[in-house]
Structure formats: C-alpha cells, structure tokens
Structure 1
Amino acid sequence: MRIESVRHDASGDATIVASGGIVFLLPLRRIHEFAAMAAERLGIPFDTENPDPDKALLKDVIAAEVDFDSDDSLIQNIRRIDEEWRAEKKGFELCGRAEQSSQGLKAKLVSRGFSQSAAAAAVQSLEEAKAVDDLRFASLWARTRAERRFEGPTQVSAALGARGLGQDAIRKALSSVDFDGLIPGAIEKESKRLARRLRESGDCAGKRFKEELYASLKAKGFNSSLLREELGL
C-alpha cells in the first residue's frame, strides 16, 4: 500500500488517499501524531524551518513512494486514527440528536460497526469536549422520567444504573429532582392503576386501597412520612 496524496480542508483536517482508492481521515489535532510516526518509521527528519513541518513531512512521505504492507505499524496507526475520528464524528452527530451517556453512546457506536477501542476513544474525546457529560445526562433523564411518569427515586436510580451511570452521577441527579413535590401526582397515577386492579373487589377507596397505594409508592422510594400524611394514614 502506497500513500499517494494528502488534501487539507478549510478546517485543517486531512484526507489521505492510498493506492487502491483507500481513504483515511485525520483530524487537525492528530496530524502531528501521524507525522511523528511517519518520521520515526521512515527516518525522515522534520523540516523545522518550514512554517508547517507536519504538512511538509507528509509530502516527503508521498515523495518517498514507499510500499507498505497492510500490517505495517504506520498503516495500522493511520487506520486506528481514522476509525477513532469517524467514530467521534458519528458520536457528535448522535449527541446533536439527543443527550447521551458515555456508556450508552459507546454501545451505540459499537452497534454501528466501530471497534470497542475506537468507540471508547471517541467517547473520551467527546467527554473532553463536553459534548458528553454523564451528570448532565443523568440529571436530565431523572427529571424527565420523574416528572412525566411520576417514578420514584428507587425506580429512577435503578434505571440509571442499568444504563451504566456511576453512583456519584446517580446521587447528584436524584438530588436535583423534587420527588416530594411529585407525590400528589404519583398518588393520582398509582390510584388509577390500583383502581383497575381492585375494581372487582369493590374496594377502591377504603383502607385496604390506601394501604396498598402507600406500600406501592413507598417501594418506589417516595418519602413514607409524606405519603402517610397525603393519604391520611
């Protein structure tokens, strides 16, 4: 495999074309990384007097007309950088559609054909760029889930844990939700569910109904004292 051309777009990112029409994409911030690898691999010194020594070195690589094996370390590294950059761009696209958690985004990238290592590297870069933030995701997800579905802290915590969120992010996310203020709405929603189940027994307003309602909402993590007060128990 021979590196035949390098093009730089307006943002400085590079497109490297190899023999056979194989295309590798390199972001601006990683061009020096690849240039340094090429310099070491081929023994080509950097032209320190050139205003852009990285571009100059890549031109030297093309001029050298070296035929690389597909398993050559330089080719393997450019493949790695290319895949990580493509994964990062796809990850950024997904972040533009909806807030993402680090573990959730990594799983989505892997499901789209990226390797585990490329997906992990992409997520790390997106975290550094603040495009991915587990605490931000957890807080938004917790508020939305609690306010729309009237789920209690136990339910929300379990759901966030199942999505790979850490305990610190979960704890801070739960603290951002006013679960006590949601108790009236939670009682109304759960009352309707229990009423359908207990309709045959005819006990949809008595003590048994209130006790079952209390037990159900307590299991979801709502404040037991406030539940008793609200239900008159």
Structure 2
Amino acid sequence: MQGLPGGVPDPQQLQATMLAIEQACSLIQVHMNPAEAEKVLSSLHSSLMPYQACRFILETSLMPNARFQAAGAIGDAAIREWGILTDDNKRSLILYCLNYVMEHTGSPDGYVQSKVSAVAARLLKRGWLEFPDQEKGAIFFEVEQSIQGMHGPNRQFAGINFLETLVSEFSPSTASSMGLPKEFHDQCQLSLEVKFLKGLLLLGTSCCIQYRRQNLEFKCNYTRGESMFGGIAPHASNFKLELQANFGT
C-alpha cells in the first residue's frame, strides 16, 4: 500500500472499511435503509486521507459499486485536500489511477474503469498549472505508448478513452466542479490547446484511422477523433488538412 498518501494502513481497518462500503452498496441496491447507507458512503468521501482504504477496495472488493465509490472518494478527497498534499502525493494519485485503468482494461465492469479514468483526468487538470510541462509530457508519454498499441488492443482502447475523458474535463461545458474560479479553467484550457492539443489530436486520430484502414471494429473513427477535440478548441478542425496529408484520409 505504499506510494499513496495516508501513512501505513491497518489491515483490519482496511477490511472493516471495505465491508462497510460493500454493505452500504448492497442496501442501496435493494432499497433498504438508503439514508443510513448513504451516510456510510458519504463518510468515505469526506474522511481525511482515505486513499489507502480506497486503494484496498479498488484492488480487493468483488463488488463493482464499492469500487466505483472508492474511485469517487479518491477524487473528492484529493480535490478537497489538494493544499496539504505534497507534489509526490499528487503525482502518485494521478499515476495510480492511470495505471489502474490500464491494468484493468479487460474488466467487464467498464463503468468502474471510466470513473477511475475520470478521476485521473480531474486530478491532472487540478495540478495542470502547477506541474512543469516535462511532468505532463511524461504522463502523456505513457498514454501515448498505450494508444500506439505497445501494450495490446485493450490498453489502446483505454488510452483513447482517457484522452476523450481528459478533453471533456478541460472543456468549459463538461468540466467538473473544483471550487475554483472560472479563470483557472480558462487558463488550463488555453494551456492545453497551445502546448498539447495538436499532438493529442494527431495521436488519437491516427489510431482511429489505422483501425478504419484495417476494417477492424473499433468504437472510434475519424469523425469522433475530430469532434472529440472540437469542444475544447474551436480551431481543432484546422488540423484536418494536416491529418489528411499525414495519414491519407
């Protein structure tokens, strides 16, 4: 359980927390005592430094809804505690979520992976103006390796989906609430557009074109690749001619 903030965890406490969350999820599913169940779930989301418990639930629980709640609690706690987390804490949380998504791409519970991916995108945006470009580039490099098929088709799909989630997080109309002024979101959007958008667009769309050429069934195509980025940068379509020149579309 090293690498995430929160100190050395107590195994018995981790197990007790997981069982409590699983029971609360079960009660909600059968519509029994929902108020008490919601109180238990809320306690996880609002507790101080819940990261070790959330990691334990994500990696141990057999109940998808419990894992979903754990992922959401990581995001809520990190945004709330951002000011007291160290730089290493922040990076480790983002990388943990990304690695989790990539390592569980074959899971049938896709909504859990989507939630973890959304948390990674949310935290990356929260630290966007703090992290040097080199660190952001290193994170994108890992995603790029997956999208290029270096680790198999499942990770390739996960990489494309993360890019879509990231762009959604940076888009004004779909950004999640962080309790920060509009200027923060505007600065993040502009920075992504100027420094990274073109490379991400070329990367994502080239992968889609590759699959279309091979006539493989893949829930991504050129139109999706272009529209994916159109929400954050109205000028994204200006890259269309370059894409056509590079990939013959």
TM-score (norm 1): 0.30
- Could you say which structure has the larger radius of gyration? 1
If each structure's strand is expressed as a fraction of its own residues, which one has the higher value? 1
If each structure's helix is expressed as a fraction of its own residues, which one has the higher value? 2
TM-score (norm 2): 0.28
